[in-house]
Amino acid sequence: MREVIVVGGGPVGILLACLLAEHGVDVEVLERRTEPSMQARAIGIHPPSMRVLRKAGVADEVLARAVRIEAGSVRCGGRTLGRLSFTRTAGFPFVVALPQYETEAVLRERFRQLRPDGLRSGVLVGTLQDRGDYVDVLAEPADDGPGDNGAEILAAARYVVVADGARGHLRETVGITSHLLGGGDTYLMADYPDTGEHGSEAVLFFEEGGVVESFPLPSGRRRWVAMTPTLMTDAPIDDLTALIRARTGVLLPPSDSAPSAFSVQQRLATAMVRGRVVLVGDAAHEISPIGGQGMNLGWLDALALAPGLKHALAQPIEARATLGDYDRLRRRSARRAARQAGFNMAMGRPVHGLRLRLRNALVRILATPPLNGLLARAFTMRWL
Ligand SMILES: Cc1cc2nc3c(=O)[nH]c(=O)nc-3n(C[C@H](O)[C@H](O)[C@H](O)COP(=O)(O)OP(=O)(O)OC[C@H]3O[C@@H](n4cnc5c(N)ncnc54)[C@H](O)[C@@H]3O)c2cc1C
């Protein structure tokens, strides 16, 4: 019987496990994959998350691998509409950019130091059964897992944290559903060699045909993301290069990376706690990647949940109230993040004529002092 089992060894599950281990909680992570995912996903790590990473003991390692974005500019039709500076934040006065698979590697290594046998890979959890005083976890070896003989694996813990991501099904096994908070916009993105033209700035091109975003990455690369009229699955890199050129006039150098197309969905679980089962990260809330908040929001769940679970284990009589606070406060933050992402997406949609001039006037107001300070706060998630 463990104190806590975390299902899902993505960035949120592993960070939570590190924080729990730091709190002295007996924790194990069960993860379906045997090899880490190399998918291009999150890059932006915001100042509140850097503070969480510092608590987990990995901030220095992340900073050593990452690039720092101290400012962003907003452009349209070849002109700069405004600038945002992130340098007024105490502690970490920048947004950190690091590919998600690198961040995950740093977190896994940290967890290995804290709990050498704490991560069981190749284990596919099928269902959870809350027995009142503990939870049974029913699993089987994943298809490519070691010793795949179809035998069932049974584990048990006082609390189970579901961190199985947006496509995970475990919340349903304990009767939690989720509702749609909008979405439908589609994007295409790829990493290119960085020509150095934009220095270490993030650049948002709010063009008539739709937004194009560009962020520096480590190792002399830059991520480019463009809104597309439809989901352009399997589009070759040349299509993205041509689309960016047509909208912004920027001619990108050849890239060997394969573009990824994605369609945005925002969802929020109807509850983040059911008995002894607790949701964190994308399992609880799926937020649009536009604005780069999803992983950060999940880490802030973990920051709130780690001491909450420790307290619930130590003071069972207060467990309900402690986890109830977590449920209420973190769902409130997720709703805010979804609203902000909805605003970001709306600002980047195609727009023409008078509406374009009005949109640009609004961007100018928001991206010049004094409002750009507030906008920078919102973009760096300092209100969460
Ligand atoms: C294109 C794109 C760009 C993004 N950019 C940003 C960004 O810049 N900033 C940001 O903050 N966020 C961004 N995000 C969002 C971010 O990627 C997610 O919020 C983050 O991965 C969520 O982490 P997680 O650990 O909750 O879930 P996941 O990363 O999905 O991890 C879930 C884990 O659970 C495992 N699992 C699933 N089911 C089971 C099971 N039954 N048994 C055992 N294991 C299981 C999976 O194998 C996986 O390892 C982006 C997303 C996309 C798609």
Better-predicted residue by pLDDT, 380 or 3: 3
Question: pLDDT per residue over 56-92, tens digit each?
Answer: 999 999 999 999 999 999 999 999 988 888 887 778 8
Q: Which residues contact 303 (CB under 8 A, 6 or more apart)?
A: 19, 52, 55
Q: What is the pLDDT of residue 159?
A: 98
User: How far away, in angstroms, is 193 Cα from ligand 1 center?
Assistant: 25
**pLDDT exceeding 70 applies to what percent of the chain?**
97
| Pocket perturbation via mutation, ligand 1, pick of 264, 295, 340, 381 by most ligand atoms within 8 A of CB | 295
Ligand 1 within 6 A of CB of 32? yes
| Pocket perturbation via mutation, ligand 1, pick of 45, 100, 301, 384 by most ligand atoms within 8 A of CB | 100
Q: What is the pLDDT of residue 96?
A: 95
Strand positions, DSSP E, the chain: 2-7, 27-31, 44-45, 67-69, 71-76, 79-85, 95-97, 119-121, 123-130, 135-141, 153-162, 178-193, 202-207, 210-217, 221-228, 260-269, 273-274, 277-279, 285-286
Give the pLDDT band of residue 324 (cuts 50, 70, 90): very high
Give the start-to-end residue ranges of the domains of the chain: 2-43+99-177+270-345, 183-264+347-379
Determine the average pLDDT of the residues in 197-221: 94
pTM given for the model = 0.95
> Is it true that 2-43+99-177+270-345 and 183-264+347-379 share their CATH fold?
no
Q: Roughly how many angstroms between the first and final C-alpha of the chain, as a whole number?
A: 34
Question: pLDDT per residue over 256-286, tens digit each?
Answer: 999 999 999 999 999 999 999 999 999 999 9
User: How far away, in angstroms, is 53 Cα from ligand 1 center?
Assistant: 17
Strand ranges of the sheet holding 67-69, from the earlier edge strand across to the other edge: 44-45, 95-97, 67-69
Residue nearest to atom 6 of ligand 1 (CA): 42
User: How far away, in angstroms, is 165 Cα from ligand 1 center?
Assistant: 5
For residues 139 and 155, the answer to whether their CB atoms sit within 8 Å is yes
Determine the average pLDDT of the residues in 101-122: 97
Question: pLDDT per residue over 283-302, tens digit each?
Answer: 999 999 887 789 999 999 99
Angle made by CA atoms 36, 227, 258, in degrees to the nearest 5: 40
For residues 228 and 186, the answer to whether their CB atoms sit within 8 Å is yes
- Give the lowest-confidence range in 61-70, 144-153, 172-181, 202-211: 144-153
Q: Hey, what CATH topology would domain 183-264+347-379 get?
A: Alpha-Beta Plaits (3.30.70)
Ligand 1 atom closest to Cα of 296? 11
Class of domain 2-43+99-177+270-345: alpha beta
Residue 37 pLDDT greater than 60, yes or no: yes
